[in-house]
Amino acid sequence: MSVMPLNLIKGTRSVAYERLENTEDIDEVEHQIENLKSKCKDGRPLSSKDRRNLQELEGKLQVLRRRGRHLDIAERNCCSKVGIALRPVKVSLHYEIGSCSQM
């Protein structure tokens, strides 16, 4: 078992799970942005702290949206689909190689 690579033992996170997490993060950041923008609806300017927070949140939102696009590409990638299908074969091959080297 010590011969097996760690990522085969540990496994990987699914793209669908990461997309769900990313969507939840986007919703949370958008909600925070709306809360900050609602402070200035009556015509008052935002404080410098709120402006800085708003800029940081907008930057974070851009990163999350970019990550979502990358996850879309990864989900459509045929190599990842083949890799998922062949995972049991990879595990059994590593197990066989490991047991042969211990003899």
Highest mean pLDDT among 43-52, 58-67, 77-86: 58-67
- End-to-end distance of the chain based on CA atoms, in angstroms? 13
Q: Which residue has the tokens 């990550």?
A: 67
| CA angle centred on 70, ends 6 and 15, rounded to 5° | 45
Is the pTM higher than 0.85?
Answer: no
User: Is the pLDDT confidence value at 80 over 70?
Assistant: no
User: Is the pLDDT confidence value at 7 over 60?
Assistant: no
Instruction: Answer yes or no: are the C-beta atoms of 24 and 68 closer than 8 Å.
Output: no
